Structure 1
Amino acid sequence: MRRLLRPFIVIAAIIILVETWLWERIGPAIRRVIAALPFAALKQAIHDGLTRLPPYATLGVFVIPVLLLIPFKLAGLSLIAHGHVILGCGVFLLAKVVGVGLEAFLFEACKPKLLQIPLFVRLYDTWNRWVIWAHGHIDPVKRRLQAYTRLVRGGRSGRAFKLLMRFRRIQRERAAQMEGAAGRA
């Protein structure tokens, strides 16, 4: 049974790690963009408003970007379903990236209030355990792939691989020359 579940476990682990990676990379980028905006008074008013909210109202603010981006994600999926795969994937991924970035930014601003909600604390701890679990499943595979890549690129195997590729290229060139000579005859 575990063998049958293995692909689903790996896919779940990859999804968790991609979400975490996006959160860690895009959140700071959104914070830098917001810091570069010239609306200091507006930014301070938003921050002050967030700090005055009670914890459950802060949770509502935290959910707003998710709700606002659902139509864009659905539009991306609709485009994919109607045959516009590249455009649909682009719209969906853009909505995903913007959503994760805004959530990361808001989470940092709202974290003290959100951690006053017992259910949120349990969910936050569960998410952190899932990230550790995902690393436990993906990191060994990642290390094996990195070792294989090093083996193919460097050392004797790397030279042998380059020599093999050179030999195949020479064979293709000779075959093309022979076809050209046969076509002229």
Structure 2
Amino acid sequence: MLKLLFAPIRWLIRVVLAIVILFEEWGWEPLQRMMAAIGRLPVLRQLEAVVRRLPPYLALVVFFLPGLLLLPIKLLALWLIGIGRPGLGLCVIVLAKVVGTAVVARIFALTQPALMSLPWFARLYGRWTVWKESLLIWVRASAVWRSARAIKLRIKRLMRRGARSA
């Protein structure tokens, strides 16, 4: 009986998590490459070298730091929404999410070897990637995903045809 009661809630949580993870998947690599390009600047290159050499637990602190630093910005966004500026608040949240994803992606690329030397982190990361992959399989099997993908492919074909005829 409880399973039937919680099934819609579980489905809703899964959908919300899927949206967040799809954003992360979509943005992780391109944003990480962008941050790597920015990281080629002399001062940042030196900072990245320091981050690469961090011991595991200090690397863990550095990895979680951007999330903590963005918390006040996200609270500001909620405050903006609360005082009747929903558009501005939403823009702040989206910007914080994009910047946060870019920074975390780069920091993870730099600290991953140190983090994976922590047995508990490696174990949790392994579980996370298996769970995330099963969620992505579920999303990609959905009718909404397949329809959106078909529309995207049609648009790409139309754009290619338009480019050839121009």
Name which of 135, 143, 146 aligns with 2:146. Answer: 143
Cα separation, 2, equivalents of 1:75 and 1:120:
31
Q: Which among 25, 32, 35 is matched to residue 30 of structure 2?
A: 25
Residues in 2 aligned to 1:15 and 1:43: alpha-carbon distance in whole angstroms: 29
TM-score normalized by the length of structure 1: 0.70
2:94 is the counterpart of 1:93: yes
Q: Hey, what's the Cα distance between the residues in 2 that align with 1:7 and 1:70? A: 24
Preserved CA contact (<8 Å) 1:14 1:138 = no
Asked if structure 2 preserves the Cα contact closer than 8 Å seen for 1:76 and 1:88, the reply is yes
Q: For residues 65 and 149 of structure 2, what CA distance do their matches in structure 1 show?
A: 40
**2:7 counterpart of 1:14:** no
Q: Are the equivalent residues in 1 in contact too, given 2:54–2:111 (CA < 8 A)?
A: no
How big is the shift at 1:99?
A: 0.9
**Aligned residue for 2:114?**
113
Query: Mean Cα displacement is larger for which, 105-114 or 58-67?
Result: 58-67
Shift of 1:83: 1.2
Give the drift of 1:85.
Answer: 0.6
Q: C-alpha displacement at 1:14, in angstroms?
A: 2.1
Q: Percent identity?
A: 35
Q: Is the 8 A contact 2:39 2:45 kept in 1?
A: no
Q: Which runs of 5+ in 1 are unaligned?
A: 154-185
**How many residue pairs are counted as aligned between the two chains?**
147
Does structure 1 residue 59 correspond to structure 2 residue 60?
A: yes
TM-score by length of 2: 0.77
**Greater C-alpha Rg:** 1
Give the equivalent residue in structure 2 for 1:104: 105
Letter paired with 2:118: I
> RMSD between aligned alpha carbons?
2.4
In 2, the alpha carbon distance for the partners of 1:53 and 1:146 equals 42
Return the offset for 1:34: 2.5
- d(CA) in 1 for partners of 2:20, 2:108: 20
Give the CA deviation at 1:146. 4.0
Please report how far the alpha carbon of residue 3 of structure 1 lies from its aligned counterpart in structure 2 after TM superposition. 5.2
Q: What is the CA-CA distance between 1:139 and the residue it aligns to? A: 0.6
What is the deviation of 1:104?
0.6
Kindly indicate whether the alpha-carbon contact (under 8 Å) linking 1:17 and 1:134 is maintained by their aligned counterparts in 2: no
Distance in 1 (alpha carbons) for counterparts of 2:14 and 2:92? 27
